[in-house]
């Protein structure tokens, strides 16, 4: 579940929701070890300091960044720290990162669409097919159209309609990034994102789609592929997960910077 608190900027909304994904990666690195030990000189040395009875089972795990002792009362066995179990932390990191994207795009749109409407009026909707296709299906009844003429805050009314469309279509994908970026005045958003990050926009876009597709596998099929939902769980690695989380972070920060700059342009050109 995403967290959106009043008064936060879109970037802060994103960072707050991304933090669990980053924490899960750090926990994975802390707990990653080739084997655990129930009989080790370190356990002998610290047993008295822990106040542990001689018959209490202790479990030692260590790697280059962490040394930990699990006491018997934790009811956690050695199998907990095997890779097959720890990989679930990576899967949850992917899910959390995508949730951050889900929260970021509506927050970004909500914060800035008013500025766009003031600057562009009724011509605010981009003409490109991808954006129009994403928002296809948004309609207004005659009563709603009349309300737009008299509503003291038509921008809020329109924004809520657009946000409903994003909720229905899903904000956590590359098409949503393009659509929201275009609505907020970015010309060819993925090209600008790629230029900002000095990477091909298509590569960033593909990795984002791969990540959100994997999130769907994790949530809906216990990380089994859509093509083979009854097959084995898909392999996952720390390196791929870190890349996926970092890509979402980099893309969202780039979009936030680009939109902030565009809003300044709109604000400076708006005629009262």
Residues contacting residue 9 through CB under 8 Å, at least 6 positions apart: 111
* Cβ pair 179, 131 in contact under 8 A: yes
In tens, the pLDDT along 66-105 reads: 999 999 999 999 998 999 999 999 999 999 999 999 999 9
In tens, the pLDDT along 124-133 reads: 777 788 877 7
Q: Whole-structure pTM over 0.75, yes or no? A: yes
Residues contacting residue 124 through CB under 8 Å, at least 6 positions apart: 113, 116, 117, 183
Alpha-carbon torsion, ordered 253, 259, 264, 265, to 10 deg: 140
pLDDT at residue number 159:
72
pLDDT at residue number 3:
55
Q: Which of 14, 67, 13, 73 is nearest to 37 (CA)?
A: 67
The helices-and-strands tally (H runs, E runs) of the chain is 10, 2
In whole angstroms, what is the distance from residue 240 CA to residue 13 CA?
A: 25
In tens, the pLDDT along 148-163 reads: 677 777 767 777 777 7
Q: What is the DSSP string of 212-227?
A: HHHHHHHHHHTT--TT
In whole angstroms, what is the distance from residue 38 CA to residue 191 CA?
A: 54
* Cβ pair 172, 2 in contact under 8 A: no
Q: Which of 1, 10, 5 is nearest to 177 (CA)?
A: 10
């Amino acid at each position: 579940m995403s967290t959106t608190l009043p008064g936060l900027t879109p970037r802060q909304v994103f960072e707050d929701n991304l933090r669990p994904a980053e924490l899960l990666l750090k926990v994975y690195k802390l707990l990653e070890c080739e084997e655990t030990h129930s009989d080790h000189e370190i356990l002998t040395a610290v047993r008295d300091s822990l106040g542990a009875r001689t018959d209490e089972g202790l479990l030692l795990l260590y790697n280059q960044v962490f040394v930990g002792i699990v006491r018997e009362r934790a009811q956690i066995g050695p199998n907990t720290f095997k890779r097959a179990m720890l990989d679930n932390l990576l899967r949850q990191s992917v899910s959390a990162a995508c949730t951050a994207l889900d929260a970021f795009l509506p927050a970004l749109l909500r914060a800035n669409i008013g500025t766009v409407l003031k600057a562009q009026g009724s011509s605010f909707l981009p003409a490109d097919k991808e954006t129009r296709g994403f928002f296809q299906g948004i309609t207004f009844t005659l009563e709603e159209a009349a309300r737009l003429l008299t509503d003291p805050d038509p921008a809020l009314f329109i924004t809520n309609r657009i946000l409903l469309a994003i909720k229905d279509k899903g904000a956590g994908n590359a098409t949503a990034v393009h659509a929201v970026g275009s609505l907020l005045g970015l010309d060819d958003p993925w090209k600008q994102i790629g230029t900002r990050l000095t990477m091909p926009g298509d590569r960033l876009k593909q990795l984002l789609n791969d990540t959100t597709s994997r999130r769907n596998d994790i949530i809906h099929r216990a990380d089994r592929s859509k093509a083979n939902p009854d097959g084995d769980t898909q392999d996952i690695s720390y390196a791929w997960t870190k890349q996926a989380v970092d890509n979402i972070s980099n893309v969202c920060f780039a979009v936030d910077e680009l939109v902030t700059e565009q809003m300044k342009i709109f604000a400076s050109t708006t005629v009262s």
